[in-house]
């Protein structure tokens, strides 16, 4: 159930105050507009002139192969910034088309801009015949709706043309959102490209393996790993004699591939629009950037925040961070990575209880607040609810200085009014785990008895309860007028019908497998903990319902990803502001009064161990 969630959203708006940056020089072009665009397309907000590296190496040591390799063509750090910009600012399409009596679903997002040699865009945006081919400029009619190249891509095209000595009239882009997106072996040798076409391919974002094989002899192969900023130019007989592909790769992140090409006749324009735009709606990845700034315009983002880019791929992200990290997000089933912000560090933390279920990714908001992300079940869902290292997870977050945890979880609904796709904010929990999960930090002769009357921090609960998203039902204490009770069962199997009806008779509203001991451990670590649950099914209490399956759960989660993104965006903004007003301090110091063991009887080893989460208690 590898699902990508939380697309980038904390990039600066035009109204944000900016300062100069040593990385990229600012630019202030106006957005590109045209009737064929679904929305105005922003110009590059930075100047890439100083980050273009035109040196190339020719690769022609194999039969019929002629490639120019630029490694890199755009400096690594600048290329990652460019990746984030294009992913957020361009319209993307997941095209479906009929072929051989079936519907083919393109396994990646695509978009395309340009027009073939026979047409040009007039000053008013209309399309006329190119005077180089026709004696007069009359209106030229296409079946599709060609789109002019926006300024952000036009500038890139000029860099590529200068470096290669070639001329291009199309920018065709592929966005591989994760390792499941791919493109099979093919060649770009369509007749509308002419004989021996030249195609330049620029990689941005995640590195991916690029495979090639000879059409006449499949044993003749070539491959390379394309890293962000790299560009290869396939020319001569390469397209006519070779095939190339980007295979699937487990756990890969997002990658954009920009291909610059030249179509010489109308068929090229028709073809590229049909198979890269189609007739469906576009996907806009910048929606959360708009949302977060419309809600929090008092934030002052500077250029450094906007250009908070990934470290070059050949260098790992920093494995340490100096700042304390006040807010953490724990992702549950289907929520294995944190794409909301560009990472600034990836931490492998060792605790006295062991290592957490995943590396902890650190990112920063536009105003500079560090945010931690941890995948509860591991990046590839390798931990069952019973084997999740809950103590290690909470201890690792506490060691970073985390005060607030926003935990996400998929749940089954136990009430008719909570429909699949709705969100639930629990206030109480009933423990139906079986005692096989380590549930306390206090052991080895150090005994604590702490009140668990309120398993969720009321301050965080109130923040979550204040979130409202148009068209989305969020069931909470405020909306239901009563406590919202979550049943936490052992799993990993779902409930029997008898169990499901029993939980309903107890007043249960929803059921999951991961709230405990996570919320209890957060309490012991004095962290303010709140849970946001998404109902994916009706469990099995409904006689009319089919049994619960993982596929059904995943389908609902996938369909509601945008709502989860909206909620998290709102929560991060509210929690960040709340930190200045004492949010996250409610549980501070409460464990001092819970220790039952007399100090003289507590071993030095036990004191040192508990000091990892509660420093200073026995200093």
The CA distance from 391 to 389, in Å, is 6
Say whether 336 counts as a known binding-site residue: no
The tokens for 561 are 């990803």
Q: Is there a binding annotation on residue 514?
A: yes
SS3 (DSSP) at 193 = helix
Number of helices (H), then strands (E), in the chain: 14, 28
Q: Do residues 96 and 106 touch, judged by C-beta distance below 8 A?
A: yes
Contact 81, 60 (CB under 8 A): no
The DSSP bridge pattern shows strands 423-424 and 474-475 to be parallel
Exactly one of 537, 543, 546, 551 is catalytic; name it. Answer: 537
List of long-range contacts for 597-600, beta carbons under 8 Å, 24+ apart: 597/445, 597/446, 597/447
34 annotated as ligand-binding = no
376 marked ligand binding residue: yes
Name the active-site residue from 181, 302, 539, 551.
Answer: 539
What distance in Å separates the CA atoms of residue 460 and residue 537, rounded to the nearest whole number?
A: 26
Q: Are 415 and 462 in contact (CB under 8 A)?
A: no
Q: Which residues contact 549 (CB under 8 A, 6 or more apart)?
A: none
Name the DSSP class of 359.
P
Q: Are residues 541 and 500 in contact, defined by beta-carbon separation less than 8 angstroms?
A: yes
Query: Residue 83 burial (CB < 10 Å; 0-12/13-18/19+)?
Result: buried
Q: CB of 521 within 8 A of CB of 441?
A: yes
333 annotated among ligand-binding-site residues: yes
475 is in an annotated binding site: no
Q: Where are the beta strands (DSSP E) in 189-326?
A: 199-205, 208-214, 221-226, 231-234, 242-246, 255-261
Q: Is 539 designated active site?
A: yes
40, 105, 111, 272, 284 from 94: Cα distances, Å: 20, 7, 9, 14, 11
Longest dimension (CA), the chain: 100
Rg of the Cα atoms in the chain: 27
Q: Tell me: is residue 367 an annotated ligand-binding position.
A: no
Q: Is 21 annotated as a binding residue?
A: no
Please confirm, yes or no, whether 444 is among the known catalytic residues.
no
539 is in an annotated binding site: yes
Sign of CA dihedral 18, 24, 28, 31: negative
Residue 504 assigned ligand-binding role? no
Active site residues: 537, 539
Annotated binding site for phosphate: 333, 376-377, 409-410, 514
Q: Which residues are annotated as a binding site?
A: 333, 376-377, 409-410, 513-514, 537-539
Which residues are part of a known binding site for substrate? Answer: 513, 537-539
């Amino acid at each position: 159930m590898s699902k990508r969630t939380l697309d980038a959203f904390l990039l600066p708006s035009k109204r944000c105050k900016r300062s100069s940056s040593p990385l990229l020089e600012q630019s202030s072009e106006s957005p590109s507009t045209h009737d064929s665009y679904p929305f105005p397309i922003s110009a590059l907000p930075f100047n890439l002139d100083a980050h273009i590296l035109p040196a190339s190496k020719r690769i022609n040591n194999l039969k019929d192969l002629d490639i120019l390799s630029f490694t890199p063509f755009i400096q690594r750090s600048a290329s990652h910034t460019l990746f984030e910009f294009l992913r957020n600012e361009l319209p993307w399409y997941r095209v479906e088309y009929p072929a051989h009596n079936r519907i083919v679903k393109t396994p990646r997002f695509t978009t395309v801009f340009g027009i073939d040699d026979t047409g040009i865009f007039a000053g008013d945006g209309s399309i006329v015949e190119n005077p180089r081919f026709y004696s007069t400029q009359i209106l030229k009619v296409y079946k599709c709706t060609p789109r002019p190249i926006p300024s952000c891509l036009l500038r890139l095209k000029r860099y590529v043309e200068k470096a290669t000595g070639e001329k291009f009239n199309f920018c065709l882009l592929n966005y591989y959102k994760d390792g499941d997106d791919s493109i099979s072996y093919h060649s770009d040798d369509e007749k509308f490209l002419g004989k021996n076409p030249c195609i330049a391919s620029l990689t941005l974002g995640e590195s991916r393996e690029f495979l090639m094989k000879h059409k006449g002899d499949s044993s003749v192969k070539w491959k390379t790993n394309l890293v962000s900023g790299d560009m290869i130019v396939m020319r001569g007989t390469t397209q006519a004699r070779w095939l190339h592909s980007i295979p699937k790769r487990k756990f890969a992140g997002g990658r954009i591939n920009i291909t610059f090409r030249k179509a010489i006749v109308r068929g090229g324009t028709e073809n590229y629009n049909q198979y890269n735009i189609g007739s469906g709606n576009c996907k806009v990845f910048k929606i959360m950037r708009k949302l977060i700034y419309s809600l929090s315009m008092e934030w002052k983002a500077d250029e450094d925040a906007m250009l908070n880019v990934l470290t070059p791929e050949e260098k790992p992200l920093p494995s340490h961070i100096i700042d304390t990290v006040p807010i953490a997000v724990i992702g549950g089933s289907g929520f294995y990575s944190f794409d909301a912000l560009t990472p600034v560090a990836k931490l492998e933390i060792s605790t006295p209880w062991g290592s957490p279920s995943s590396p902890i990714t650190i990112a920063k908001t536009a105003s500079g607040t560090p945010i931690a992300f941890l995948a509860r079940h591991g990046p590839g869902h390798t931990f069952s609810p019973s084997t999740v290292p809950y103590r290690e997870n909470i201890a690792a977050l506490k060691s970073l200085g985390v005060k607030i945890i926003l935990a996400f979880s998929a749940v089954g609904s136990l009430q008719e009014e909570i429909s699949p796709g709705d969100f639930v904010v629990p206030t109480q929990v009933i423990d139906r785990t079986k005692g096989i999960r380590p549930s306390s930090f206090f052991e080895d002769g150090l005994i604590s008895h702490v009140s668990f009357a309120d398993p969720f921090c009321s301050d965080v609960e109130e923040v979550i309860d204040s979130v409202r998203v148009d068209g989305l039902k969020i069931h909470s204490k405020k909306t239901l007028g009563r406590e919202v009770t979550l049943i936490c069962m052992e799993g990993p199997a779902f409930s029997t019908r008898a169990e499901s009806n029993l939980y309903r008779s107890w007043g249960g509203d929803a059921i999951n497998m991961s709230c405990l001991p996570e919320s209890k451990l957060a309490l012991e670590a004095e962290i303010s903990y709140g849970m946001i649950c998404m109902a994916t099914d009706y469990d099995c209490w409904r006689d009319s319902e089919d049994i619960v399956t993982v596929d059904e759960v995943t389908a609902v989660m996938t369909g509601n990803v945008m709502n989860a993104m909206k909620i998290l965006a709102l929560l991060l903004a509210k929690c960040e502001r709340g930190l200045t007003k004492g949010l996250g301090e409610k549980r501070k110091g409460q464990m001092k009064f819970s220790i039952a063991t007399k100090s003289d009887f507590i071993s030095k080893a036990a004191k040192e161990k508990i000091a990892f989460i509660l420093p200073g208690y026995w200093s």
